[in-house]
Amino acid sequence: MADPSSHLEQLASAAYSELATASDDRALEAWRVAYLGRKGRLTLLLRSLGSLTLEERRQVGAAANRLKGELEAALEAHRTEARQQQLVTAIETGRLDVTLPGRPKKVGRLHPVTQTLRDVLATFVSMGFSVVEGPEVELDYYNFEALRIPKDHPARDMFSTLYVDLPRNGEPDILLRTHTSPNQVRVMEKTQPPIRVVVPGRCYRREATDASHEWMMVQVEVLAVDEGLSMADLKGTLFEFARRVFGQERQVRFRCDYFPFVEPGAEMAIDCFLCGGEGCRTCGGEGWIEILGAGMVHPEVLANMGYDTHRYTGFAAGLGMERICMLRHGVEDIRLFYANDLRFLEQF
């Protein structure tokens, strides 16, 4: 190499003057390959340093490496400038219209029933209840037997469901739970009073669907066991819940009902938002929409758990989330919730 330093200077001035004339991405890339690429001029010069004396190598090497950094920075600056220039040209020639409204990003949301579920759970948590969960695929024992619904009991008819094809002891006894009440037993089996829990979850029924009945629904089980609990506590808790979720102005109907695992049993309904009590398709002509079944836990169920029934009493309730959601938002048909129609779901 004749004079390595002057060779470097020539290379630098050629590089800078060529860079000044490269005005688009393609020209800038060609320049990068010519000077900084694997066979570029500066790369080759750096590779040839081995043939120099130690002193020359030190001087020229440092200068060449500095130049490499400077050329890379200059390339980046030119690239940014070229892109800005392209943008300006695009706007000036009308190819790009920055005044067009942007495309909004689709933001996900919670399903309306999930929103209601969370509000309901939060209401009970604020009243001192804890949230626990239980299995969706359940044993006949928890869904029926332990709740005083033996094999031939007529109450099984209203709780007919899907069975899992895994008979144990020759009997089909694994099923999709029909209500969240099996969790009363599951919780009591492993806990001593005082108990205050709410148990949310999906339930399944063999159901002829209509405007207020689905074959799959979400329930929340409420269970309290303690010394001295009475029907007044049950009623007070459920009325307070209804007031908080539906507001003061809705009418609440509370009357007797029968469930084999409670004594006495009750049900709660809210006046139909659509017909105002006249009777319509949504409320099945009743004028009321039933939202929950409830009652004092049957002493036999408590005794089966080993509880002292002279000391402890309990109350329980099973709330239907879809019905509560219908009442809160004025949804006329329960089947809309799971029809997957975004025109409906995006309104919540």
Residues in contact with ligand FA5 by CB under 6 A are: 179, 181, 205, 207, 213-214, 217, 219, 259, 262, 265, 290-295, 316-318, 320, 322-323, 334
For every residue of 174-227, DSSP letters joined together read EEE-SSSTHHHHHHHHH-PSSEEEEEEEEEE-----BTTB-SEEEEEEEEEEEE
Distance (Å, rounded) from C-alpha 165 to C-alpha 220? 27
Q: How far is the CB of 226 from ligand FA5 (least distance, A)?
A: 16
Closest separation in Å from C-beta 247 to ligand FA5: 19
**Smallest separation (angstroms) from ligand FA5 to the CB of 231:** 12
Cβ at position 210, least distance to ligand FA5 in Å: 9
CB of 268 to ligand FA5, least distance (A): 8
Residue closer to ligand FA5, measured from CB, 15 or 196: 196
Question: Measured from the CB atom, is 4 or 320 closer to ligand FA5?
Answer: 320
Phi, psi at 196, each rounded to 5°: -145, 100
Question: C-beta of 286: minimal distance to ligand FA5 in Å?
Answer: 12
Nearest Cα neighbor of 130 from 56, 28, 51, 200 is: 200
Amino acid symbol at 306: G
Min separation Cβ 147 and ligand FA5, Å: 8
Closest-CB residue for ligand FA5? 320
Q: How far apart are CA 184 and CA 301, in angstroms?
A: 9
Cβ nearer to ligand FA5, comparing 19 with 219: 219
Name which of 2 and 256 has its Cβ closer to ligand FA5. 256
For residue 219, list its beta bridge partners.
201, 320
In whole angstroms, the minimum distance from the beta carbon of 318 to ligand FA5 comes to 3
**Nearer to ligand FA5 among residue 35 and residue 259 (C-beta):** 259
d(CA 218, CA 116): 10
Q: Residue 217 or residue 302: which is nearer to ligand FA5 going by CB?
A: 217
331 phi/psi in degrees, rounded to 5: -85, 125
How many CA atoms lie within 13 Å of 46's alpha carbon, on the beta-carbon side? 17
| Neighbouring residues of 205: CB distance < 8 A, sequence distance ≥ 6 | 159, 160, 161, 178, 215, 216, 217
- CA dist., res. 90 & res. 291, Å (int): 61
Task: Return d(Cα 154, Cα 327) in angstroms, integer.
Answer: 30
- If the CB atoms of residues 42 and 205 are measured against ligand FA5, the closer one turns out to be 205
Exposure class string for 205-222: b at 16+ Cβ within 10 A, else e: beeeeebbbbbebbbbbb
Closer residue to ligand FA5 (CB): 274 or 291:
291
